[in-house]
Structures are given as C-alpha cells and as structure tokens.
Amino acid sequence: MRNWLIIGVIVTMGFILQGCMLMHLVDDHHSGMMGHGAKNHDHDRNKGQPASEHRPVTLPDDKPRKDMQGGIAVEIQFDEVTDKGELAFRVKMIDHSSYLEFYKPEQISSLTNDQGAEVSASRWRPTSPDRQHVIGKIYFPAKDPAGKPLLGHGTGKLALKIKDLGGIPERVFEWKVGHEN
C-alpha cells in the first residue's frame, strides 16, 4: 500500500512540474510562475502591462486537420509540448500512387503564428516504415530565432505549413489559440 502512495505522489508531482514548465515555456519573460497564486498588481503597473497579460496561453486543440490535395492525404494533429520545450505534431501522409519516402517532412515544414514568428522543423521521427503510409512526429522550437515565442501573449493562431508536397505549393493547417479565462 505504501508503494502505491509513493507512486501516486511521484506521478502527481510530475504533472505539476510539467504544467509549470509549460507556463515558463509559453512566456518566460515574466518572473515567477504565470497564472499561479495572487496577481502582483504592482508588477503589472511597473511593467506597464495589464494583468490580463499574465493569463496562461491555451495550447492548440488535438483535433486532426486534414488536406486531400494532389492525391496525397495529409493529417496533422497537435500532440504535446515536449520536455525539451518543443511543439510536437503527429503527421500522417497517405499516397497509394507514389512513394512518400522521398519527402523529408523536417525540410518542407514550418510553423508560424499570427504575430510574425516563424520556425522551421527541428526534427522528424517516423513511426512507420511503409513507403505509401508515412506516419510520425514532427517537432518545432517553441521560439523563433529572435527568441519570440510561437505561443506568446497576443497569439491568436498557429499555422503548420508544408511546402511542395505532391505538386501542391503549400498546405496550411491552422489552430486557434489564446488566453485561458
């Protein structure tokens, strides 16, 4: 019985730490943990920022986005924020008339937001060796090269873009994001 209690405490602490890491990842230019405890209104006045700026940003939903152009079915689904602070998406591409193994998702994909931040994919991890059914996870840095977060305050939309896949110049998969109430 004691072992189960210890395991329960460890798992709970893991969830709490993951939540705190996400808060830090989303907007780490504020000190302390956003959205936790009482608001420091003096801090808000000193920085010239309204208290609403301190609300946590919501993550993209995990509903799959689909595109069927050019004979290639593509499905993208937000998966997680990794321990490394990357934004991870599940990818599924299906084409029964040609081989998809020649496409390199990490080289043709980018992630942008409506605030002008843009990053290229940092890595691709395939989970299926099939040549006509490509399934895997694609990862993106959470911040652009200038240090601007993709999921920062004021962000309303994320877009994952795939260029030149199956003769289609650009496929765009969008998610609305915003502040929690």
- Reported as a single tens digit per residue, the pLDDT across 61-81 is 999 999 999 889 999 999 999
Q: Domain limits at 34?
A: 2-54
For residues 25 and 84, state if they share a domain: no
For residues 135 and 112, state if they share a domain: yes
The pLDDT value recorded for residue 166 is: 87
The answer to whether residue 60 is domain-embedded is: no
Q: What is the DSSP string of the chain?
A: -HHHHHHHHHHHHHHHHHHHHHHHHH-TTSSS-TTSSS--HHHHHHHT--GGGGSPBPPPP---EEE-GGG-EEEEEEEEE-TTSEEEEEEEEE-SSS--TT--HHHHEEEEETTS-EEE--EEEE----SSEEEEEEEEESB-TTS-BTT-TT--EEEEEEEEETTEEEEEEEEE--B--
The pLDDT value recorded for residue 106 is: 92
For residues 92 and 18, state if they share a domain: no
The pLDDT value recorded for residue 3 is: 55
The pLDDT value recorded for residue 157 is: 95
The answer to whether residue 108 is domain-embedded is: yes
CB 114 within 8 A of CB 176: no
For residues 89 and 48, state if they share a domain: no
Instruction: Tell which of 54, 77, 93 closes a domain.
Output: 54
The answer to whether residue 31 is domain-embedded is: yes
For residues 50 and 74, state if they share a domain: no
Domain count, the chain: 2
For residues 39 and 86, state if they share a domain: no
Q: What is the CATH number of the domain that holds 101?
A: 2.60.40
For residues 36 and 72, state if they share a domain: no
For residues 86 and 150, state if they share a domain: yes
For residues 75 and 143, state if they share a domain: yes
For residues 41 and 103, state if they share a domain: no
The pLDDT value recorded for residue 11 is: 41
The pLDDT value recorded for residue 101 is: 73
The pLDDT value recorded for residue 146 is: 94
The pLDDT value recorded for residue 40 is: 35
The pLDDT value recorded for residue 1 is: 56
Q: Which residue stretches of the chain have pLDDT < 70?
A: 1-57, 99, 179-181
For residues 134 and 164, state if they share a domain: yes
The pLDDT value recorded for residue 130 is: 75
The answer to whether residue 181 is domain-embedded is: no
The pLDDT value recorded for residue 32 is: 31
0.75 exceeded by pTM? no
For residues 82 and 140, state if they share a domain: yes
